[in-house]
Structure 1
Amino acid sequence: MDIQQAKDEYRKALRKGHREFRLRVAKGAYPYLQVLDDILENTQVERIEPLGLVNIPMESIVGTKTEGRKAAFAANFMPLLEEGTEFQMKWTNLCAAHMNEGIRDPIKAFEFMNRFYVQEGNKRVSVLKYFDAASIPGYVTRVVPRRSGSKGSEIYHEFLAFYDITKVNFIGFSEQGRFERLLMLTCNGKHEPWTEEQKRDFASVYYTFAGVFEKLGGKKLPITPGDALLMYLELYPYEQQIGRSSAEMEQTLEALWPEVVGLTKAGAVEVSMEPENHSAPLLSRILPLEQFTVNAAFLYEKSADTSAWVYAHEFGRSYVEEALPNRVYTHVYDNIRIGTDDDEVIERAIRDGSSVIFTTTPKLLGASLRAAARHPEVKILNCSLNMPHPTIRTYYGRLYEAKFILGAIAGALTENDKIGYFATYPIYGMTAGVNAFAIGAKLVNPRARIYLQWTSHKDGRGLDLFKEKDIHVISSPDTGLPKGERAYGVYLLTRENQPIPMAMPFWHWGEFYEKILRSILNNTWKADTAEDGCAVNYWWGIGSGMIDVLTSRGLPPGTKRLTEFLKQGLCEGKVDVFGGEVFDQGGRLVTPQNGSSFTPEEILKMDWLADNIVGQIPAFDDLIEIAKPLVKVQGIYRKEGQI
């Protein structure tokens, strides 16, 4: 390139600079480069440290160190000074040098909050930004602000820990917890320094993905390419993306685009608390219903012979076949190996003609989302809670309502004010169930104390602990297998260690499945679609018939009457489980200050325990290994934006 051609490029860059300047002025935005010295005037600095020679992402260079050159550039680093100036001559010479031999001299810059401010080399940055260069080498000094507790501050300090391990500075996130999650997905959470090969592989994956993200319209969304990449890697293993072409990645990401847009909803989930009564379209009312049939697949991790959970869903599936004969045909796929053949099983179900698929464990969420991307014509529902995924629907029951009643029963039965409680996993809704049980027990017995154990805790002591504390009223897993298991629900433990069942929650999945399948048969399925692309989560309670409490013949008549009274109150909306003053274990009032009830989201995400509970919520590292995959998906300490 000769000097005259370089001058032509300067004119084009100048027009870009003036255009950016005018646009920002029209919007009331600052039109020049940001100045780090101005920012630091109102910032408490924790430390300043040299990083040495670093490859700086061009998109992360946002300003200058001092204000000396700020008026020479628009906010996009394009020049503002007219032709004939010394500035123009130097810019032109750099432009010609870049095109003829490349700009190789490092700049000097300061990094603050993972944004870079140039001390020496502003014109080099301007030229390279004009030619859309990806990065530039530079000697960098990091300025670390004091931790303030703000969201931005917390994300930045998470980045610092990530950078110490990877030396990667080109990815950013809009929510907390995502840098650690990225480490989990790329290197199994190992906090060991990355090799040069690991850095190259990740850079290749990231920049390929970022290019596809931008091509599909990602720049219009209020999220970062990193946010979208993390969601993508939750579904498609990182190792499989290394070396993948942009065309292949684009095909996959385009199918997932509703999920990407869903990230902008900040985890928004539209919760359906009760079944809606939608009128069927006129055509459906005129034509005989028998003309419309549905093939529905039920996917289970285990079998009905080995799992009470699967047995309950199988009971519901059989109920649907009897309730909708010749209209609904069901197919069972059980003993699925999560992460091994789950994708293939869903594909097989679709090949077998299933147009509706119920995946009955949160562990099948990833496979459900991948299938939804491949087959948008298939309706897929996953049995889980509070999942922000608009391409599928999720469903569960408000089990805490049944737990409230069971707590009242246990409170009436205990003779020494002690009640044992076995919880399974610290996942969405589980803590609400524990608290509801404790509140129910306190309702009838103000002195009742709930001794909490987690079956998923690696140091759990089981019944031995309850025996030591002379506890004989116990709440165990919700249902037993059909072959004689008696230690389930609320039961009395005799001196001879024999369980006597008194009451149990009952999952009437058939009620849910029938209503969902009827909505499909009646063409009213779309009536439940959320506005603005939000995810739909069915979370029905006792009033829907999906949840119930069954009592044994041995329960005292007065306690049975109390059970029915509480059921009726819940169905009619006259009983609020978490109404009134509720205190946590630290004595803190957790009831909303304005006197309103807890929102569904607040109930789902409860991470505290009521004041009459003895025990605590286990940390993730304290869980048995078999529990961790489920808790990663549904755990109450799960970070927003992850699967």
Structure 2
Amino acid sequence: MYRTSRSLSRSEYEKANRLAKKDFLANISKGKEGYLPCLEDIIHNVEIIKEEKLGLIDIPIERIKGTYYHSRSLSFSANFYPLMKIDSEFASKWINLYEAHISEGIRDPVTAYEYMNWFYIVEGNKRVSVLKYSDAFSISGEVTRLIPKWDENNPEIRIYYEFLDFYKKTKINIIWFNKEGKFKELYDLIKDYEKKSEFIENKYDELVNSVYLLFRKLYREIAKDTISLTEEEAFLEYLKKFGLENIPVIEREMREQVNELLEELEERLGKPSEPLFKLPQIFAGKTLKVAFLYNTSIEESAWTYSHELGRRYVQKRLGSEIITKYFENISDLKTYERILDKLEEEKFDLIFSTSFDFLQNQKTKEFQNVRFMYFSGYRTTKNINTYFGRMYEPRFLSGMIAGAMTSNNKIGYVASYGIPEVIMGINAFALGAKAVNPKSEVFVGWTNTWRNIEYERDTAEYLINEIGVDVLTHHQDSPEVCKVGEEYGVYTIGYHINMKDYAPTTHLTSVVWNWGVYYENIIKDVLRGSNFSLFRLFSGSEKIENFWGGLKSGVVCLSPISEIVPSTTKNLVDTVKADIMGNRFHPFRGGIFDKEGNMKVSECEDIEDEELMKMDWFVDNVYYS
């Protein structure tokens, strides 16, 4: 009898453990539960009207969603892989089961509940974990079905009751639809199926094994997520197109049919467009004149200082290719417009205005020499484009740190104005906190100013003394909030630049702008004549494009995380950061609900940039006055 060596089995556990940690981090970074779902939590407030004994049945591994007991869920990630350390008793038992599976197979049935056609293991969790890891198809189990009370207003309940009728007729549990009427449609298509083997009692078992599973294998292989239909809905389309009588059992022949079906589906559903075009080299060989407009002082504002560092960086990097000039303390509209006229007269090509204070009142005119203008803001016209960064990405990461470090689940956020830029930062931060600590709450105090040290201090002290927050962050131009946190012994997270010097004992990290990287990328694109900002001016496109750099571009980042923060939290943040940079998930991935309980981002969907720039709602763990 073949038996794996202990060292090989240990290495398999270590691999499974790494995959578990990766899955755990990926889920919590999306605002989802990282541990295995547990049924006792799910049905806590559900009225179960009937328990039905299904007996010993084959449970598809893919339909096993979790465990029954909360205490057992903490040993596994959401994909049922093991989270416990290699030197634990849990790991030793898992390894023994893995060796048993390799040598002779796991034969003992599990005990499980079925709820909404998902299975939750009562006894046998490690067996399921080993089989999930080994990519097994099914496991036998003694199953009890929990049937919830009928609710006409709940579409999930209505679909489940359709499934119950379908299951009663077919005993098929591997197929699931998310739309009403589909189970009846499938049954009508397969009810006349005639089984080919006399050794199979249930004809639908044969249909599943010889037809559906082969189709599913080919669909997953060929479609590769390029078709918006689920595999179950695609199977319906397959049956409608070819009919039961024309379905082969030979893989090569079915592959040809699946390819034909996919071509038809692609044509019907449409293909994504690729709006690509080339732009003229209008700035090739020319020295570009670039101006930077600051509404506050370089020395007094962390925001302005971060931009000035960017200007110095890009001037040093690009040298004679550009000429830069800056203006600071632009405190009124009249001064602002006078500077614009001066820049037009001096034939500057590009203006970066680092505030939109004047944008709301500016009467935009056609500049003859200033080709285009950039503002950090949220409004565009034909010669104004917005430039900003995906600050919500490091905001999410800093929220994770805050959620892990709070001891009373109350986190404070001193904010300037209730505009989309600020709101998306608050929401991302709150989602990050919630991802690692579902009980965390973010309390927002408004100053209605970008920089007023007195207001910032008063608001921070209010959040500490009246609300009782034990972590503070902010969206303000000064480091005053961090100073207050240091005085009161409250953890702090800075903004704009690394603010550790202002809170040496309480600073956890800062969300930081690297404007030099941004300006270099934009200006290089302009010099090449290929910048997105030229779409409207030189390509005839009616669309105003916004350029948002994120963690991947280096435009935004976290400053070094304090030694105060446990290494487990740091590792978690590093993993989530890597996933963001690798485009494996989005901090605003649904489902996300607002304060009123409305779903603002659908399950597994990512919010569009256009929606972010119009954001006027708060996620459900944000509180403000």
Q: TM-score, normalised by structure 1?
A: 0.47
Q: TM-score, normalised by structure 2?
A: 0.48
